[in-house]
């Protein structure tokens, strides 16, 4: 019988990104013990739920987003080599030690202070982002930094979005949305049921506000000791519980 087994389809091992932003490690392909259907063996990298399987055709299939067909899972190495849109960006947890990250952080702080009256900007500097309660991620296209973002734990079930900034060379390429989805996925995996943010008002903040609104953030009350005022805006997003499944689409 072994000689009659169908050949498993090509399944490059390595790191993949789901079209909604979550990242996964693929071990390879396997066969269903009864039907011999080819399956992909993989695990999420944003939580510790272990290994999962999914039908090979589904894993490597496409979905339609805004009228366009995109890969459900994109291999990061291949995406970076081809430059194929948002999937080409590699998101990694960051310790702020690299010069490009520090340069982008300085750019972020300068922009926040330049577009906010004195005393109304609460952007975290290097020391603030190194607090134990804060996790930072950076997005890269090869060796070029494309963006950054952070998650601050306010309570076991409540997080705050911080330090969202896209590098000027990568504007309007989906970097912000990709980072936002990644951070939301981590927050949910950590058991958070609410994600909040504080930002400014005015033309300079409109692109970020539009991104948050599209993702479902709504205006609400001040939080975490921030003083409310005409130059500050507070937004909140309710998070459904993480079911433990790697992904549902």
pLDDT tens for residues 162-203?
999 999 988 877 888 889 988 998 998 899 999 999 998 888
What are the boundaries of each domain within the chain?
Answer: 2-83, 89-238
CA–CA separation, 181 vs 172, rounded Å?
Answer: 16
| Superfamily for domain range 2-83 | DUF1653-like domain (2.30.30.320)
- Exposure string over 111-138, b if 16+ CB within 10 A, otherwise e: bbeebbeeebbbbbeeeebeeeebbbbb
- The per-residue pLDDT for 102 is 96
- The Cα–Cα gap between 12 and 16 comes to 10
21 close to 37: Cβ distance less than 8 angstroms? no
Domain covering 89-238, topology: Aminopeptidase (3.40.630)
Apex 28 CA angle, 35 and 83, nearest 5? 125
DSSP notation for 12-68: --EEEEETTS-EEEEEEEEE-TTT--EEEEEEESSS----EEEEHHHHT-EEEETTE
Label residue 225 exposed, middle or buried (CB < 10 Å: 0-12, 13-18, 19+): exposed
What is the four-CA torsion angle of 201, 205, 211, 217, rounded to 10 degrees? -20
Angle between helices 206-215 and 175-189 (to 10 degrees): 50
pTM to 2 decimals?
0.65
Please give the pLDDT value at position 77: 61
pLDDT > 90? residue 129: yes
Most confident region among 46-50, 106-110, 213-217, 242-246 by mean pLDDT: 106-110
Tokens 């750019």, residue located? 107
| Integer angstrom CA distances of residue 215 from 137, 210, 240 | 19, 9, 14
Q: Name the range with the highest mean pLDDT among 6-10, 64-68, 133-137.
A: 133-137
| Separation between Cα atoms, residue 116 and residue 233, nearest integer Å | 12
| Nearest alpha carbon to residue 180 among 115, 131, 239, 127 | 239
DSSP state of 152: E
Instruction: Tell me whether the CATH fold assigned to 2-83 matches the one assigned to 89-238.
Output: no
Residue 240 structure tokens: 């459904």
Distance CA 61, CA 249 (A): 11
154-163 confidence digits (pLDDT tens): 999 999 999 9
Percent of the chain topping pLDDT 70: 89
User: Over the chain, what is the mean pLDDT?
Assistant: 86
In the numeric block, which tokens belong to residue 30?
């396997």
């Amino acid at each position: 019988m072994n000689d009659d087994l169908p050949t498993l389809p090509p399944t490059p091992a390595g790191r993949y990104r789901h079209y909604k932003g979550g990242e996964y490690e693929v071990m390879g392909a396997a066969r269903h013990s009864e039907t011999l259907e080819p399956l992909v063996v993989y695990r999420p990298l944003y939580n510790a739920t272990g290994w999962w399987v999914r039908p090979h055709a589904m894993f490597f299939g496409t979905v339609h987003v805004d009228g366009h067909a995109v890969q459900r899972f994109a291999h990061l190495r291949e995406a970076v080599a081809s430059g194929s849109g948002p999937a080409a960006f590699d998101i990694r947890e960051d310790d702020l030690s690299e010069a490009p990250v520090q340069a982008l952080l300085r750019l972020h702080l300068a922009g926040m202070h330049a577009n906010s009256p004195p005393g109304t900007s609460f952007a975290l500097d290097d020391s603030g982002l190194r607090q134990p309660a804060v996790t930072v991620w950076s997005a890269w296209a090869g060796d070029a930094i494309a963006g950054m973002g952070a998650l601050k734990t306010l309570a076991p079930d409540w997080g705050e979005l911080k330090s969202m900034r896209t590098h000027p060379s990568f504007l309007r390429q989906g970097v912000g949305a990709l980072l936002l989805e990644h951070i939301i996925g981590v927050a949910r995996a950590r058991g958070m049921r609410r994600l909040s943010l504080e930002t400014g008002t005015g033309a300079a903040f409109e692109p970020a506000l539009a991104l948050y609104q599209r993702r479902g953030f709504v205006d609400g009350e001040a939080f975490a000791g921030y003083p409310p005022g005409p130059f500050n805006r507070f937004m909140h997003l309710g998070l459904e519980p993480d079911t433990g499944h790697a992904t549902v689409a």
